[in-house]
Structure 1
Amino acid sequence: MLDENPENLPLAERISKAEHFARELAEHLQLAFLPKLSQLRASSKKADPEEVTDQTMYDQMAAVVSAEEYASNLYTRLTKCLESIQRDAVKAFEIVPAP
């Protein structure tokens, strides 16, 4: 996954990429992150070490951390695109940005 500067892309492509990142982030949160977090939460409520081992807890925590890192990366890329779009909109329409 190359970390390209959105400023190097035409505005229409930046808008398209921002839409793609937003959709991908929403899908990832709904289909990967939240289910993994729910599974970890359910496992953490079980008191029987025979039912939920330390390794199971470790594996589930690692899966949640990995999913969070992926979501964070997507969010960062989305934010860069949106900030770039905002800068161009401010210039094009002579908008005074909010403080």
Structure 2
Amino acid sequence: MKTRFWRITEAARQGGLMLRLLGSLAFQMHAPSMVLQAKLGRAYTDIDFAGYGKQAKTISEMLASLGYHEDREILCLTEGSRAILKTPPTASTWMFL
């Protein structure tokens, strides 16, 4: 999961896009000595990001270029403020814009 995080953030950096990591992966990267996730044997199942709404189209295009597919139903239901993008087989990336 961390490999996917670095791949996405590097592509965002190169494209001049602002993304912020959220959720359990952000917590673990900020406080690596807190190992509760590992002690419980829990795997990271998704990556949560927040980005600027004005960059939403460019962020979506960047993620599509990395092989992520947007869940159009979620995008419509949230009026464009939230996107769920998936890559095979099941990894998800959540985007709050």
> TM-score, normalising length from structure 1?
0.24
Higher percent of residues as helix: 1
